[in-house]
Amino acid sequence: MDNPLLFRHETPVQLRFADLDSLNHVNNANYLTYLELARIVYLEQVLAMKMDERYSVILAKATVEYRRPIHLGDDIKVYTRCSRIGNKSFDLEYELRKTESTGQVLMAVGHTVMVAYDYDTKLPVALPDAWRQKLIVFDNPSSVDK
C-alpha cells in the first residue's frame, strides 16, 4: 500500500490540539477518527451515500498500522480506496500521508471491512448493484465476487 498513485480519493485532515497526547503527538485512537472522516467523505462522494438512508453500511472491522508519529502542524491527508468487493461487504484501504517539501511520507496504513446493512430490518443485505458498479468504476478493486 505504499504507492499513493493507487489511491484516487483523498481527504485532508485538520489536526487539533485536542488530538495530542502527553507525548505531544497525535494519540493513536485519533487515527481511527481520521479514517472515519475519510470513509464518510469517500462514501458520500463515490457512492453518493447519505448516512441517514435505510440502506447504508456498518463497520465490521478496523485495523491501523502506525508507521510514524503525527504532530500538530503536520499537513496530513488520508487516501482511500476500495480493494475488495464481496456479496455483502467491501474493504477499504487507507494511507495517512504527511506532505513535506520533499514529497509525501507514509505515517500509517489502515483497513476496514464495511457491511451493507438494512437499518429497518437490522440485518446485513447484499451490496446494491449500483454501489458495486460505482466502486468498480472508481477504484477497480483487485478482488470482486460475482
Q: For the full predicted model, state whether its pTM sits above 0.85.
A: yes
For position 101, which CATH number holds?
3.10.129.10
| The dihedral sign for the CA sequence 4, 97, 95, 124 | negative
All cell numbers assigned to 14: 485538520
Q: Are 119 and 113 in contact (CB under 8 A)?
A: no
- pLDDT recorded at residue 130: 93
Q: Work out how many domains the chain is built from and give that number.
A: 1
CA of residue 29 relative to chain centroid, distance: 15
Please write the tens of the pLDDT for every residue from 26-78: 999 999 999 999 999 999 999 998 777 777 999 999 999 999 999 999 999 99
Mean pLDDT of the chain: 92
Q: Give the range of the structural domain holding residue 97, as residue numbers without chain letter.
A: 4-144
* pLDDT per position as a tens digit, 78-135: 999 999 999 999 999 999 999 999 999 999 999 999 999 999 999 999 999 999 999 9
Distances (CA, A) of 88 to 5, 56, 60, 129: 28, 11, 11, 11
